[in-house]
Amino acid sequence: MYPSTIYRVVAKALITDDNGKVLVVRENDEFWSLPGGGVEHGESAEDCLQREIEEEIGIKDAQIGSITCSTSVHLDQIDTWMTWIVYKATIASSNFVVGDGVTEAKYIDVQDLKDSTDLLEKFIVETVQKSLA
C-alpha cells in the first residue's frame, strides 16, 4: 500500500533587497513566511506567485525567476502533506500594501529566525541557506 499522495503545493518567492535581507510576510499575526501561497487547480506556479504577491503585498508584475529549492513536510496539526516550491523573484517597489491574511511585510536578516520553533520560519532559514549553497 502506498502512503497518501495528496499534497498541498505551495509556491513561494525568495525576494532579497540590496543588502541581502529577505522579504517576509506575517500571516494572520502568527508567523513569518515567504510571500506566496497555494497553487490553485489549473494555475501555474508562476501565475500563483504573481497573484499571491499582489494579494499579499499589493505589488504587481513581480519578476519570477528560477526554482531555488523545494521541500515537502507533513503538517501534523492538519494531517496533510505540503510541498514548498521556492522561486527566486524580484520586485520593483517596497511600498507594500498588505492584504489577504497578511498583517505585516518587511525585509529581515534570516539569522533573526534561526532559533525559531515555527516550521515555516525554519523553512525560510533553510531556503536561504540552500539558495546560497
DSSP 39-74: PPTT--HHHHHHHHHHHHH---S-EEEEEEEEEEEE
Tell me the pTM: 0.91
Q: CA-to-CA distance for 69 and 88, rounded, in angstroms? A: 9
Is 57 part of any domain? yes
Q: Which grid cell is 2?
A: 502506498
Is 58 part of any domain? yes
Is 54 part of any domain? yes
Partners of 58 in the β-ladder: none
Q: CA-to-CA distance for 35 and 105, rounded, in angstroms? A: 9
Domain that holds residue 119: 7-132
Partners of 25 in the β-ladder: 33, 105
Q: How many folded domains does the chain comprise?
A: 1
Q: What is the pLDDT of residues 65-124, one digit of tens each?
A: 999 999 888 888 778 888 999 999 999 998 999 997 899 999 999 999 999 998 889 989
